[in-house]
Amino acid sequence: MILQAAYIPFLQPMPTVAQWWWLLLIPACAAISVTWKAVRLDTLEHFWRETITMTVHSVLAMAALAAALMVLLRVVIPMLPMP
């Protein structure tokens, strides 16, 4: 067995965030929402309300897509006939 002092990027996950990587979706969506709304809004009167709304919608959409993909992989595909 070969001992390595460091991890290999893209082949081995970081040991600190390996189990909780999906939580990085929230700050990523928040950063994208802040940037998008800062560029697209004419006035910044409702900036934070619209940014939070867009962030919540993005996170919920990702969660719904993940749930739909899980149902597809665990329920629908096993029911298909084998050739």
Residue-by-residue pLDDT tens, the chain, 83 positions: 566 667 677 777 666 766 787 888 999 999 999 999 999 999 999 999 999 999 999 999 999 999 999 999 999 999 989 87
For 39, counting Cβ atoms within 10 Å of its Cβ (0-12 exposed, 13-18 middle, 19+ buried), the class is exposed
Q: Tell me which residue of 59, 7, 13, 15 sits closest to 33, measured CA to CA.
A: 59
pLDDT at 5: 67
Whole-prediction pTM value? Answer: 0.74
